[in-house]
Structure 1
């Protein structure tokens, strides 16, 4: 399965100007500079802006409140997600934090049990002390989600594909459950990107991104974003964006804009490599389980086919190995770099139990399926055969 630009998909992928995603990725929100004709969005390295008279500015007064480079990025992201409003933040965690800022003491949040460890930490170790409650459930089980929602539940937080087990959640069904209970549905779309999946089109109220990952795409920038179609929600996000001040600088915004221009071609290669690697791993004698939604054996494959245009560049797999052996395999790779994060052009490998999800208590981590033998790979755009050979060499060095 590959991203389809055929006429059959034109309604989904086309803007009002009937432009396809690849065209919008390069041009949306980014006109040449009217004064100089500069093709690339200028880096507006300003903290403040001259005013004509007190209180009469030309659209910008202070760069925490608004910056032209950031505005172009926000317009680009809103367009790619088929949304009307976007806000950029200094990190993905800052964007998630902003969603929680809109809640009040006593509110409840239902979230997936398989989510990024940093999100889990923010929920439980930061916001629980402010009298927010969090219920973690298997969001692939719609009945479990319905049972978890209470009268005071205001938010359903969903990742899909999830981190790190790559579960697939039915966005349309979950959004419907949230709305039936007067709650908002927020989807972290970091793993899929808007090139592969657009949650707002499926009924979600909020889309969250770590711009650090695929949208930036080159492991050289930290950023986050929220996209919505709701102007009242966007106004709240803008208030906290300005009041708290967790905003990206103009250079960071420039780098992400550079990244979104090549998002389609990069994602095509990420998906191609990940798909081949997952097929190979599924038949590997030392691998007990492969988690990749592009495999027909994946329990969420049919949903992924329905709501995604391709299956992404993330592959997780489980070895019959101890924590130490798994750590050694990750350390033995040479083409794959042992590092946290994901979504860059280079392939990364990590052990969730000891790295990205170490903040989750061991008992809770194991209950959700995060074993000591689990490895998560962010499959880059190198040559597939080099990636396969590197993994085989590392496995052989430790297990044979």
Structure 2
């Protein structure tokens, strides 16, 4: 085993994550890493088979407080202190993402009905109308930013609509999510309380006037089942889904569009055979999924992963981008192939795996299908509006996002 830690902020990851992760995967499939602001031992797992195994291993948990002997402030404690957030909002930071076992399964079971494939597909026409309205707003422009003007409003509006946020309030959530993502403490101390208080009021309105939305279904399920889902848990769920529904979907759309423009043979294939749209979404999620790393998991006991001993209390992170480029699972992984056969299920792990498999996966896939049909297949003039080499990406731990994507129709 190498004594050199892999730097997760290595600039080479920005432009070629498949290639750089590939080198690490072949040289040291379970590698110690340097993670910004963290002194603890963290192991990065990069092979497809190993990634699926660790994401499904009950000995690895999201909540470090479940590990015997672990001390020190939790991530929530650190956020409260670092950003100066009011103490009364502590409970709204500990949702499903860091839950494990029965508590996680209970919450997931209560909200899953809103995200079944059938329920999601019932909203396909609504998503298409949302996208058409957004495209009307950019029609006639010489160029526009696909991320800012299309992908972000689409992703945000779709998830707000599903949850039950009134259309007139969608822009407010866009602003709150923007302010939250910036990470500026002066913005966080304002946007977090505003989101929480708005959501609490929305739950109260939906309890009085239920509709065909996720919040109404959560309330019915909770009330019919003896109040198993508290209002705080419902607020946590709404905030989690609003946040998770913005960035990953928006940047996947941008990554996919750029990948099509970089691979005109596959672009023409899709336009010639639009029935390949579901396959195209799956393949583009494999190569263009916007979440490269999952949240750290902590070993509750000594665990062996691919011959490496991970000691109790040490952290493990699964590299989804590395797993999706593993030639053991995907022949010629760097080649985009809309006809690629991957067997049952997703094939890729862009949505994770195991108990924490992305709750909104069906919604993200359906949204991708609508975008591919409306923007890739039907908009024959779609093209970059700037030279390809001028595009820039922002590097963050576990994500390498395009700053903008100027296009024209």
TM-score band, normalised by the shorter chain?
Answer: under 0.3
TM-score by length of structure 1 reads 0.25
Structure with more contact order per residue of length (Cα contacts < 8 Å, sep ≥ 6):
2
**Structure whose residues are more often helix by fraction:** 2
More strand per residue: 1
Give me the TM-score of the superposition, normalised by structure 2: 0.24
